[in-house]
Chain A
Amino acid sequence: MLDHSLTQIAKALRDGSISSVELTQLALDKADANARLNAFISLNPEQALTAAAAADAALKAGNDDPLCGIVTAHKDLFCTKDILTTCGSKILSNFISPYDATVIEKSNARHLVSIGKTNMDEFAMGSTTESSYYGATLNPWNTEHVPGGSSGGAAAVVAAGIVPVSTGTDTGGSVRQPAALCNLTGIKPTYGRVSRWGMVAFASSFDQAGVFANSAEDAAIMLEAICGYDEKDSTSIEKQEIDFKSDLNQNLEGMRVGLPKQFFNAELDAGIADTVMAAANELEKQGAVLVEVDLPNSALGIPCYYVLAPAEASSNLSRFDGVRYGFRAEEYTDLESMYVNTRSEGFGDEVKRRILVGTYALSSGYYDAYYIKAQKLRRLIANDFTTAFEHCDVILGPTTPHTAPKLGAVNNDPVSMYLEDIYTVTLNLAGLPGLSVPAGFDQNGLPIGMQLIGNYMQEAKILNVAHQFQQATDWHTQRPANIGGES
């Protein structure tokens, strides 16, 4: 049941074959059975079962919301009342928020039942989920490999069939990349679609919530639940149409699919290139028109992103000072040493590295050379997409240059880890929507994802292409072996 489609589960919840409480218990048991994946930071069985009982009551009263009573899990950087919100960091290891994030409020309002908070790279900084204070999450497809990151826990819980949908966040690829590495459909909408209120900030001008699901259709249903204007977030989009399902069944006749020549480069694994091209050919078979597009500045995406995101992070993470909440060092002699010891002990290496880089980039004398320069590049990269979309309706390419690396393989080599974001960061720089869908497997049986990029606010269009692709292929229905517990 847990790996069925949302529509099927919704039907089962209504025809009496299962209750939300039973579904929730099933998910909690499955989470326990797969504890070795280390996908959760916290489980909250009591609250979940209470919420499930409320959902059952609503169902009984005739609630026709397709999400009512469905189980889910939230990434541990959405603030939640009454349970921990750690961001995978020691510095927030004791933090309980007095308020719910807007994403949480919206999910709760839909009677989605959250069974826990998922593991992540510390403060969402990483591509492997290995930088979590709570230890690495393992990839359900092969536990010697990472699930990707930073939303690795959120991807693993859906890939393992513990919950059918989950929330994540995507600052430079943190939804799309783990979706690709775990054979899921993961979407990051246009910047400003989902309120950032209560989403602990990493890099504010990039951060955007997204969802993991087993199909484009489920992703569309779940994404609709969390999108919407929020007056508490000044960067949220006020006028937005939220309908991602209506266009799913449109045929692809005449749809112009752009293939950026810069994405099929030397860094790209040959197997992935072939897989993505095969997918492109499938779309062409359905009537889509393949066109080559040019994104001349895309190679600058990584250096640009790794100046701007750390710059914002260095300021965003300054509030974690041990004064008001969170971890405080035990040993200190004065204010200065309290700050220094708290932050030295409370943050992990990758977070410290980015705080240092960001602080440097903003420093007097370096600001123009780094921050201002990177802002200009950001504009050029966004302009590339604007031009490209004059020639195509959606852009297709790989999500990642490689399939899931082994645990420890890239974590100790920051630059090669950063380069794994090469195809995903440019969307965050431009604020565009993008999704990753399963497109095949490598020779080791590890999933390969392909990325669909849409123009601003055109989530419906990329979901339509993804759905049509999934109607003709079964990559997305493949499940990993060796998963514990019942579904």
Chain B
Amino acid sequence: MSQTKWEVVIGLEIHTQLSTKSKIFSRASTAYGAEANRQTTPVDIALPGVLPVMNKHAAELAIRFGLAVGAKINARSTFERKNYFYPDSPKAYQITQFEVPIVGEGELEIDTINGKKMIGITRAHLEEDAGKSIHGAMTGKTGIDLNRCGTPLIEIVSEPDMRSSAEAVAFLRKIHGIVRYIGISDGNMQEGSFRCDANISVRPFGQDEFGTRAEIKNINSFRFVEAAIEHEIERQIDLIEAGGTVVQETRLYDPDRDETRSMRSKEEAHDYRYFPDPDLPPMVIDEATIEAIRADLPELPEPRIARFISEFSLSEEDATLLMADRQSADFFETCNAKTTAKPAQVNNWIHSELSAHLNKENLSMADSKIDADALAGLLDRISDDTISGKIAKEVFAAMWAGEGSADDVILAKGLKQISDSGAIENIVKEILAKHPEQVEQYLAGEQKMIGFFVGQVMKASQGKANPKQANEILRKLLSS
């Protein structure tokens, strides 16, 4: 196999569940994990006579996505029926947006090994999720769970702009980050809230027309996306080099065997008989609604990283790290605004002490036991020399354990730094008297011994001596 001869062409279709409380066309709850078929109304089980009513919030979330990727929002979009028989599709059609999606063209920048690259977004449309067929729970029978049926989705369709599995993963991660950052989806891949199909083809470098593509269905982890695409590329190249031809088909990735296998060929492809859903008039979105959603949109990661670098002098790496989720970035900004400490120090505390505590208890930033205001209170006490950085860690731990604000803890534990020069001088005298040998060494020119003495002073004062003062007094006494 000679991968170097072949150019890979990949397009993705990403399905993202929207975090609405109720379903897209019914009032049933969308919460995950309920007992089978409990989260259904007559609409979800497609009883005779029921009708869909569009959940406006789902449309707002879709628009939010469109605005976040700078895409066109269609003022008038349509709902169509996609007809097919399957037990987990109770109406035997899916309501989707076929002719005119709510979100039109947009584009998104990704990082590749060759630098930045723009990936086109063809469209993003609203549709309803299907239920689930449960095989194996009952002998000889298939169970149907319609809880997921009607959960709102947006399907984000990319242009075939990606040229490697790495680019595909980068794009998928970017979309994943955005949907979570702007709060339209929890992006939980284990629970199926975020999943994708990949359209893959290969062609000799320099050829203009695309090769025949295969579609890999329902990939639900970043690792599988990469593995599935890699495997499919290899399969297609092997096939062509062995004199065969790729046939247009839908394939399913099996992560256990690390292979894709054919689900259905083009000939077996469904004729979905799309037509406008007569139960749902076209959805009309006015400019005021779009503007209200735009106004409510948070500052997006890209410009925010740039601002963090210029405004707070953070490194690109630190700023990017903070942007991994919106809560961290918000935490940083709130804390920074409240404290006299420098931005770099705020950043350090978030990524060291706070992260360590969160990780240890497997908490997300939103669940942090110390909020941005409280951390600011702590950092202020370092800045005004009430406590040292070292003592601050002890205060932090106590705050985490629920013992109150930084000031409460400092007071209760008597951790206030000793800044009385007389008191420090007494400790210094004691230390120097105890360590005559080291004094000799210092006087003989070993300047680094000063560190040893500071350490001893801090130890003797249980960390409370102001290290700067201790240093000054030491130098003064040793030179006298």
Q: Write out the residue numbers on chain B whose beta carbons fall within 8 Å of the beta carbon of A205.
A: 278
Cβ of A100 to closest chain B Cβ, rounded Å? 10
B51 x A318 contact (CB < 8 A): no
Closest to A87 in B: B48
Measured CA separation A78–B46 after assembly (Å): 15
Measured CA separation A442–B45 after assembly (Å): 49
A324 x B90 contact (CB < 8 A): yes
A197 x B50 contact (CB < 8 A): yes
Measured CA separation A204–B90 after assembly (Å): 18
Cβ of A138 to closest chain B Cβ, rounded Å? 27
Q: Write out the residue numbers on chain A whose beta carbons fall within 8 Å of the beta carbon of B83.
A: 314-315, 318, 362
B81 x A364 contact (CB < 8 A): no
In the complex, A396 has a CB within 8 A of chain B: no
In the complex, A249 has a CB within 8 A of chain B: no
Q: Write out the residue numbers on chain B whose beta carbons fall within 8 Å of the beta carbon of A335.
A: 87, 142
Q: Write out the residue numbers on chain B whose beta carbons fall within 8 Å of the beta carbon of A16.
A: none
B275 x A197 contact (CB < 8 A): no
Contact of A311 among B85, B271, B275 (CB under 8 A): B275
Interface-located stretch among A4-12, A22-30, A175-183, A227-235: A227-235
B49 x A98 contact (CB < 8 A): no
Closest to B91 in A: A319
Q: Write out the residue numbers on chain A whose beta carbons fall within 8 Å of the beta carbon of B81.
A: 315
B281 x A363 contact (CB < 8 A): no
Cβ of A232 to closest chain B Cβ, rounded Å? 6
In the complex, A367 has a CB within 8 A of chain B: yes
B275 x A99 contact (CB < 8 A): no
B271 x A364 contact (CB < 8 A): yes
The size of the chain A interface, using a CB distance under 8 A, is 44
Q: Write out the residue numbers on chain A whose beta carbons fall within 8 Å of the beta carbon of B85.
A: 318, 321, 339
Q: Write out the residue numbers on chain B whose beta carbons fall within 8 Å of the beta carbon of A233.
A: 51, 53
With contacts defined as CB atoms under 8 Å apart, how many contacts are there between chain A and chain B in the complex?
98
Contact of B93 among A98, A204, A231, A318 (CB under 8 A): A318
Q: Write out the residue numbers on chain A whose beta carbons fall within 8 Å of the beta carbon of B52.
A: 234
Q: Write out the residue numbers on chain A whose beta carbons fall within 8 Å of the beta carbon of B53.
A: 231-234
B275 x A319 contact (CB < 8 A): no
Cβ of B22 to closest chain A Cβ, rounded Å? 14
In the complex, A359 has a CB within 8 A of chain B: yes
Q: Which of A63-116 contact B (CB under 8 A)?
A: 77-79, 85, 87, 92, 95, 97-99, 101
A234-B52, A323-B144, A339-B85 are known contacts. Are A367 and B280 too (CB-CB below 8 A)?
no
In the complex, B273 has a CB within 8 A of chain A: yes
In the complex, A201 has a CB within 8 A of chain B: yes
In the complex, B111 has a CB within 8 A of chain A: no
Closest to B86 in A: A335
Closest to B37 in A: A324
A319 x B279 contact (CB < 8 A): no
Main SS at interface, chain B: loop
Q: Write out the residue numbers on chain A whose beta carbons fall within 8 Å of the beta carbon of B273.
A: 314-315, 359, 362-364, 367
B92 x A204 contact (CB < 8 A): no
Closest to A359 in B: B273
In the complex, A222 has a CB within 8 A of chain B: no
Q: Write out the residue numbers on chain A whose beta carbons fall within 8 Å of the beta carbon of B49.
A: 77-79, 85, 97, 101, 196-201
Q: Write out the residue numbers on chain B whose beta carbons fall within 8 Å of the beta carbon of A321.
A: 85, 87, 92
In the complex, A332 has a CB within 8 A of chain B: no
Measured CA separation A324–B90 after assembly (Å): 8
Q: Write out the residue numbers on chain B whose beta carbons fall within 8 Å of the beta carbon of A423.
A: none
Q: Which of A194-235 contact B (CB under 8 A)?
A: 196-201, 203-205, 231-235
Q: Mark B229-250, 1 if CB is under 8 A from A, else 0.
A: 0000000000000000000000
Q: Write out the residue numbers on chain A whose beta carbons fall within 8 Å of the beta carbon of B274.
A: 362
Q: Write out the residue numbers on chain A whose beta carbons fall within 8 Å of the beta carbon of B281.
A: 234-235
Measured CA separation A324–B279 after assembly (Å): 22
Measured CA separation A95–B46 after assembly (Å): 13
Q: Write out the residue numbers on chain A whose beta carbons fall within 8 Å of the beta carbon of B46.
A: 319, 324
Q: Which of A312, A323, A363 has the most CB of B within 10 A?
A: A323
Q: Write out the residue numbers on chain A whose beta carbons fall within 8 Å of the beta carbon of B263.
A: none
A312 x B278 contact (CB < 8 A): yes
Q: Which of B45, B53, B278 has the most CB of A within 10 A?
A: B278
Closest to A197 in B: B51
In the complex, B42 has a CB within 8 A of chain A: yes
Q: Which of B271-298 contact A (CB under 8 A)?
A: 271, 273-275, 278-281
Q: Write out the residue numbers on chain A whose beta carbons fall within 8 Å of the beta carbon of B90.
A: 319, 323-324
Q: Mark B261-275, 1 if CB is under 8 A from A, else 0.
A: 000000000010111
Measured CA separation A312–B280 after assembly (Å): 13
Q: Which of B408-438 contact A (CB under 8 A)?
A: none
Q: Mark A301-342, 1 if CB is under 8 A from B, else 0.
A: 000000000011011001111011100000000010001000
Measured CA separation A359–B92 after assembly (Å): 13
Q: Write out the residue numbers on chain A whose beta carbons fall within 8 Å of the beta carbon of B51.
A: 196-197, 232-234
Q: Write out the residue numbers on chain B whose beta carbons fall within 8 Å of the beta carbon of A98.
A: 42, 47
B48 x A95 contact (CB < 8 A): yes
Closest to B133 in A: A335
In the complex, A371 has a CB within 8 A of chain B: yes
A324 x B271 contact (CB < 8 A): no
Q: Which of A99, A199, A315 has the most CB of B within 10 A?
A: A315
Measured CA separation A231–B54 after assembly (Å): 11
Contact of A319 among B54, B92, B142, B271 (CB under 8 A): B92
Q: Write out the residue numbers on chain B whose beta carbons fall within 8 Å of the beta carbon of A315.
A: 81, 83, 92-93, 273, 275
Measured CA separation A153–B61 after assembly (Å): 48
Cβ of B157 to closest chain A Cβ, rounded Å? 20
Q: Write out the residue numbers on chain A whose beta carbons fall within 8 Å of the beta carbon of B142.
A: 335
Q: Write out the residue numbers on chain A whose beta carbons fall within 8 Å of the beta carbon of B92.
A: 315, 318-319, 321
B47 x A325 contact (CB < 8 A): yes
Closest to B54 in A: A234
Contact of B279 among A99, A198, A234 (CB under 8 A): A234
Measured CA separation A87–B49 after assembly (Å): 11
Closest to B272 in A: A364
Cβ of A248 to closest chain B Cβ, rounded Å? 32
Measured CA separation A363–B279 after assembly (Å): 20
Q: Write out the residue numbers on chain B whose beta carbons fall within 8 Å of the beta carbon of A364.
A: 271, 273
Measured CA separation A85–B48 after assembly (Å): 9
Cβ of A310 to closest chain B Cβ, rounded Å? 12
Q: Which of A350-365 contact B (CB under 8 A)?
A: 359, 362-364
Closest to A317 in B: B92
Measured CA separation A198–B81 after assembly (Å): 20
Cβ of A170 to closest chain B Cβ, rounded Å? 16
Cβ of B419 to closest chain A Cβ, rounded Å? 69
Q: Write out the residue numbers on chain A whose beta carbons fall within 8 Å of the beta carbon of B278.
A: 203-205, 235, 312
Contact of B48 among A97, A339, A363 (CB under 8 A): A97
Closest to A335 in B: B87
Measured CA separation A312–B277 after assembly (Å): 9
A97 x B47 contact (CB < 8 A): yes
Q: Write out the residue numbers on chain B whose beta carbons fall within 8 Å of the beta carbon of A363.
A: 271, 273
Measured CA separation A447–B190 after assembly (Å): 68
Measured CA separation A235–B280 after assembly (Å): 7
6 sample A-B contacts, Cβ–Cβ < 8 Å, listed by A number: A97-B47, A198-B50, A201-B48, A201-B279, A312-B275, A318-B92
Known contacts A97-B49, A204-B279, then 16 further A-B pairs from the complex at CB < 8 Å, ordered by chain A residue: A78-B49, A79-B47, A85-B48, A98-B47, A200-B48, A201-B48, A315-B81, A315-B93, A318-B83, A319-B90, A319-B92, A324-B144, A335-B87, A339-B85, A364-B273, A367-B275
Listed in ascending order, the chain A residues whose CB lies under 8 Å from chain B are 77-79, 85, 87, 92, 95, 97-99, 101, 196-201, 203-205, 231-235, 311-312, 314-315, 318-321, 323-325, 335, 339, 359, 362-364, 367, 371
Listed in ascending order, the chain B residues whose CB lies under 8 Å from chain A are 42, 45-54, 81, 83, 85, 87, 90-93, 142, 144, 271, 273-275, 278-281
Q: Top 8 A-B pairs ranked by shortest CB distance?
A: A318-B92, A205-B278, A204-B278, A362-B273, A198-B49, A200-B48, A319-B46, A79-B49
